[in-house]
Structure 1
Amino acid sequence: MTSVALAVTDGMPLFELAIPCTIFGPGNPEAAEAGYELRICAAPGASVGGWLRSETPRRLDDLAEADTVIVPACDDALDHPPAELVEAVRAAHQRGARVASICTGAFVLAAAGLLDGRRATTHWMHTRKLAESYPEVEVDPGVLYIDDGDVLTSAGQAAGIDLCLHMVRSDHGVILANTLARRLVVAPHRAGGQAQFIADPLPGGDSGDRGEGRYGLSGLLDETRQRLDEPVTVAELARRANMSLRHFSRRFMAVTGTSPLQWLLTQRIRRAQELLETTDNSIEKIAEQVGMGTATTLRRHFNRIVGISPTAYRRAFTESRGLGRSRPGLAQTSDRP
């Protein structure tokens, strides 16, 4: 038997409790066949979702007896991770447990010192906070999950499903993981290096934007997003904003946190993701629509930024929704040159 202990603390989200229970719990015949034994370990009086009361004889101290420990998000984890949970997680890891976090559960692992010197991730909304609070952690804000051997971290809630399936795949192989994925009606494998599916909004214009160009920096970039199929240079953007190239680059970095070229490339890739999800357009056509020019260029940048090919990305969305055979255009699309 492989024991999987789920840490439950007061105020944790219900969905994040359901993920490990569904994949590793006794109600799952595949999990039972694989020899998983789920243990719910809870702080006294803990409630889930603010209303579901946890009734279990196991306490957080019992985490140390498990082979695998899963730490979902918990209330106030960003600023004050529960001390009892932090100590229990540290003790479990010291005794040899594999420890995994879902969403902001990463803050508990960081507080326990498990992430020092390691790559880790969490929900994209909180990656900056994680990096600032724990400078010894190498925070990667763009991935779904990270497997660092005995310590694993995942992004937002749905990425917790990917992480749990990844652990099953690591323990028992692809066939069992795919069987579980079919039961859950989710993509059988989203690679950990795949980017989080996030919007990338530009911060609203501040006082520094007022009077810049015709409509300020925010307005300029909103317009640029609507014209991604058109070629544009940084010099042209600076001219539209009525700034020198040097001042524009500095101002751009201050507002967006990235360089103009990197921002523009990210917008093109985000738009390509939308088109892959919502249209049957070929990779060549999408490359034109997002201003990449050729399918080869789109594939190269898409693989580097998203972590998988455009066709694999499209397949993950269509197959998980049962759309693959109902959209014949997809079968004609290939990532081959």
Structure 2
Amino acid sequence: MNPGTVAIVVTDDADIPLWDLYELSVAYTVFGIPQPDLADRWYTVRLCGSRDAPPPEGAPPAPGGSGLMLRAGYGFEDLVDADTVIVPSVPEACITGERPFPAGLIRALRRAYDGGSRMVSLCAGAFALAEAGVLDGRRATAHWQHTAELAQRYPKVRVDDSVLYVDDGDVLTSAGSTAGLDLCLHLVRRDLGARVANQLARRLVVPAHRPGGQAQFISTPVPATDDESLAPVLAWACERLDQPLTVADLARRAAMSPRTFHRRLLETTGTTPLRWLLHQRLTRVRDLLESTTLPVERVAELGGFGTSNNLRHHFVRHVGVSPVEYRRAFPGGGAADAASAAGRRRAA
């Protein structure tokens, strides 16, 4: 399966502040480096920027810039026929409205969206999608430092500042920094399956999957000491997903009361014990459906759902298709995600 062309926008390729390079490099790292041992076909990446002439040699860097010049190999017009368009962070002046977005960029984003491209923003890239009208009437997010400005400037956008990323089908937005990496891995999971995404995450030394609904800001992101880490009990649970597990079981293993364990997990991961456990079970099931020919009844048992009916109920609710339909999309262990393959590009 060919996951298609990914066009990554270089909004200000004359002089890029170093802090704006993170989301750009995240997108390129995930989609622009072939992984032939993980998938037969990988993404084709274009860096798309302005065709304007670069500044004169020796010209001083722009205010707030780094003096780093990045010349994109493609123009904004090359966004239009891409399967996926990704807009990383944009210049601060564009966020505040002190400087307009390049007119060519906004036109190209709108044409790409109208033509059926999957539209993605990382961090403040949401401002460019909003300016193009792509986010009108949609739920979207950005870094929490920018969400108030986004909501004020674009009142038609339903801004949610409490999540890591929002998957609205053909339009996806993320919060800043690491949340952009979460969203990129989520796209790989949609396109190539959970197994490929998990292996890629392992290579990048990041968690295999943080759900988009996880909170942006966590009260205690790093435990004070190793003794306070929940990692051992969570790893213990992941090894026993086929067994009945309750919050009381997890709390007992962590030597905490159920109430304390619930609070600590919520502070650490942004989700509740039951939701965390359900997510791990669904991830295990997706892996088994992609990589084995085990009967669905056996997959349900190994995933901790007990029966195929119970598995189907949760799978349809959270993935969007039945386990059988999902498996059909992965002949031989690799193909498009059933929930998104049918609508990758809308009719123009």
The verdict on a shared fold, with TM-score over 0.5 as the criterion, is yes
Instruction: Give the counterpart of 1:141 among 122, 147, 161.
Output: 161
Unpaired segments ≥5 residues, structure 1: 199-269, 317-337
Q: Which amino acid aligns with 1:295?
A: R
Q: 2:8: which partner in 1?
A: 6
Instruction: Give the counterpart of 2:108 among 88, 96, 106.
Output: 88
Task: Give the number of equivalent residue pairs.
Answer: 240
Q: 1:36: which partner in 2?
A: 43
Q: Which amino acid aligns with 2:89?
A: A
CA drift of 1:100 comes to 0.3
1:57-97 deviation line (CA, Å, top 9, x unaligned): 41011100100000001112312351332221111101110
CA drift of 1:33 comes to 3.3
Q: 2:24: which partner in 1?
A: 17
1:218-268 deviation line (CA, Å, top 9, x unaligned): xxxxxxxxxxxxxxxxxxxxxxxxxxxxxxxxxxxxxxxxxxxxxxxxxxx
Instruction: Give the counterpart of 1:72 among 77, 80, 88.
Output: 88
Structure 1 stretch displaced more, 183-192 or 22-31: 22-31
Q: 1:50: which partner in 2?
A: 66
Partners of 2:85 and 2:120 within 8 A in 1:
yes
CA drift of 1:15 comes to 1.4
Rg bigger for which structure? 1
Q: What TM-score comes out, normalization by structure 1 length?
A: 0.62
The yes-or-no answer on 1:113 pairing with 2:147 is no
Q: Which amino acid aligns with 1:54?
A: L
Percent sequence identity is: 45
Change (3 A) 1:28 1:19: farther
Structure 1 stretch displaced more, 158-167 or 271-280: 271-280
| Alpha-carbon separation, structure 2, partners of 1:278 and 1:108 | 44
| Alpha-carbon separation, structure 2, partners of 1:27 and 1:93 | 26
| Alpha-carbon separation, structure 2, partners of 1:63 and 1:284 | 50
Superposed CA RMSD: 3.7
Change (3 A) 1:307 1:117: farther
Change (3 A) 1:108 1:96: same
Change (3 A) 1:118 1:279: same
Unpaired segments ≥5 residues, structure 2: 56-60, 234-249, 281-348
Q: What TM-score comes out, normalization by structure 2 length?
A: 0.60
Structure number with greater CO (CA < 8 Å, separation at least 6) is: 2
Change (3 A) 1:309 1:272: farther
Instruction: Give the counterpart of 1:295 among 223, 242, 259.
Output: 259
Q: Which amino acid aligns with 1:35?
A: W
1:92-123 deviation line (CA, Å, top 9, x unaligned): 10111001000000011111111111110000
Q: 1:193: which partner in 2?
A: 213
> Counting helix residues as a fraction of each chain, which structure ranks higher?
1
- 1:152 is paired with a residue whose SS is strand
Change (3 A) 1:288 1:279: closer
